[in-house]
Chain A
Amino acid sequence: MQLVCPAGNLPALTCAIDAGADAVYAGLRDQTNARAFPGLNFDANTLAEGARYAHARGRQLYLALNTYPDSQRLHQWHQAVATAAESGCDAIIAADMAVLDYAARSYPSLARHLSVQGSATTAAALRYYTEQFGISRAVLPRVLSIQQVERLCSTSPVAVEVFAFGSLCIMVEGRCQLSSYVTAASPNRHGVCSPARFVRWEESTDGTRTVLLNDVLIDRFAPDEAAGYPTVCKGRYEVRQNIFHALEEPTSLNTLELLPRLHSCGVQALKIEGRQRGAAYVTAVTRTWRDAIDRYADSPHDWKPQSRWQSTLASHAEGHQTTLGPYHRHWQ
Chain B
Amino acid sequence: MKLSIAPMPYFWPRERTVAFYREAAEWPVDILYLGETVCSKRRELRTRDWIDLAHDLADRGKEVVMSTLALIEAESEVAVVRRLAENGHCWIEANDVTAVQICRERGIPFVGGPSLNIYNHVTLRRLVDDGMRRWVAGTEHSRDLVAAIHTAIRSDGEEPPSLEVFAHGRLSLAWSARCFTARAFDIAKDHCGFRCIEHPDGLALATRDGRPFLRVNGIQIQSEAVVDMSPEVPDLRSLGVDVLRLSPQAEGMAAIVSHFDLARRESRALPPIGVRNGYWHGEPGMPGVPPRQP
Contacts and interface: CB of A to CB of B under 8 A. Distances in A.
Interface of A: 68-72, 74, 95-98, 101-102, 117-125, 127-129, 132, 142-145, 148, 151, 170-172, 174-178, 180-186, 188-190, 195, 198, 214-220, 233, 235-240, 242-243, 246-248, 325-326, 329-332
B294 A186 contact: yes
A45 to B, nearest CB: 28
Interface string B116-133: 010111110011000000
A237 B208 contact: yes
A247 B119 contact: no
Given A125-B101, A178-B173, A246-B183, A101 B122 contact: yes
Given A71-B149, A143-B73, A248 B178 contact: yes
B152 A71 contact: yes
B148 A96 contact: no
Find the residue from B121, B123, B176 having the highest chain A CB count within 10 A: B176
Interface in B254-294: 278-279, 282-286, 288-294
B73 A121 contact: yes
A170 B98 contact: no
A137 to B, nearest CB: 16
Contacts of B70: 172, 175
A216 B204 contact: no
A181 B171 contact: yes
A134 to B, nearest CB: 14
A180 B140 contact: yes
B152 A122 contact: no
Contacts of A217: 207-209, 211
A20 to B, nearest CB: 30
Contact of B140 (A128, A177, A215): A177
Contact of B204 (A74, A129, A142, A239): A239
Given A124-B102, A144-B177, A238 B184 contact: no
B123 A98 contact: yes
Nearest to A129: B97
B74 interface: yes
B204 A176 contact: no
A216 B71 contact: no
Contacts of B180: 246-247
Interface in B65-112: 70-75, 78, 81, 96-98, 100-102, 104-105
A216 B104 contact: no
A329 B184 CA distance: 18
Contacts of A172: 70-71, 174-177
Contacts of B190: 329-330, 332
Contacts of A325: 177
B119 A96 contact: yes
Contacts of A121: 71-73, 96, 98
A142 B177 contact: yes
Place the interface of chain B in its size category.
35 or more
A227 B215 CA distance: 25
Contacts of A74: 120, 122
Given A122-B98, A128-B100, A184-B291, A175 B174 contact: yes
A18 to B, nearest CB: 35
B148 A182 contact: no
Given A239-B203, A239-B204, A98 B294 contact: no
B185 to A, nearest CB: 8
Given A122-B78, A216-B211, A217-B209, A183 B123 contact: no
Find the residue from A124, A145, A218, A326 having the highest chain B CB count within 10 A: A124
B100 to A, nearest CB: 6
Interface in B184-219: 184-185, 188-190, 203-211, 213-214, 216
Given A176-B174, A332-B177, 16 more contacts: A68-B117, A70-B149, A71-B152, A72-B152, A98-B122, A121-B71, A172-B176, A177-B172, A177-B173, A180-B279, A215-B288, A237-B214, A246-B205, A247-B183, A331-B177, A332-B73
B119 A70 contact: yes
B4 interface: no
B3 interface: no
B184 A68 contact: no
Given A171-B175, A246-B216, A184 B126 contact: no
A96 B175 contact: no
B145 interface: yes
B189 A332 contact: yes
A330 B188 CA distance: 6
15 contacts: A68-B120, A69-B119, A101-B122, A119-B71, A119-B97, A144-B177, A145-B177, A170-B177, A178-B221, A184-B293, A185-B294, A186-B294, A215-B288, A246-B205, A330-B190
A218 B102 CA distance: 40
B233 to A, nearest CB: 23
B114 to A, nearest CB: 10
Contact of A219 (B104, B120, B208, B285): B208
B276 to A, nearest CB: 14
